[in-house]
Amino acid sequence: MTTDGAPDRSIEGKVGHISSVAEFTPKSVQTEELRTSLVYEVRVLVEDPHDVLRLGRPATVCLMAGAAQ
């Protein structure tokens, strides 16, 4: 995960929850092929020893596919 405030610092975490229902569909989703662009709430559990994260700050999360644990 990276944040706008520290784009050069990567933070690892684990997915704690993925919503089973999409929160909203962006206006750009108009065809069946674009339905992968639906937006779901995801909670990521992280440790932030360098105090990089701030409440409300946008973050980019890249998920690695793997077995559920």
**Structural domain for 51, as ranges:** 2-60
pLDDT at 29 > cutoff 60:
no
In a domain, 67, yes or no: no
How many angstroms from the chain centroid is the CA of residue 61? 4
pLDDT interval class at 45 (50, 70, 90): very high
Of 64, 57, 65, 18, the closest CA to residue 41 belongs to: 18
Q: What are phi and psi of 45, to 5 degrees?
A: -90, 120
pLDDT at 38 > cutoff 80:
no
In a domain, 55, yes or no: yes
In a domain, 54, yes or no: yes
Residue 46: strand pairing partners: 13
In a domain, 65, yes or no: no
Q: Into how many domains does the chain fold?
A: 1
In a domain, 66, yes or no: no
**Tokens describing residue 60:** 């980019």
Cβ 54 vs Cβ 5: under 8 Å:
yes
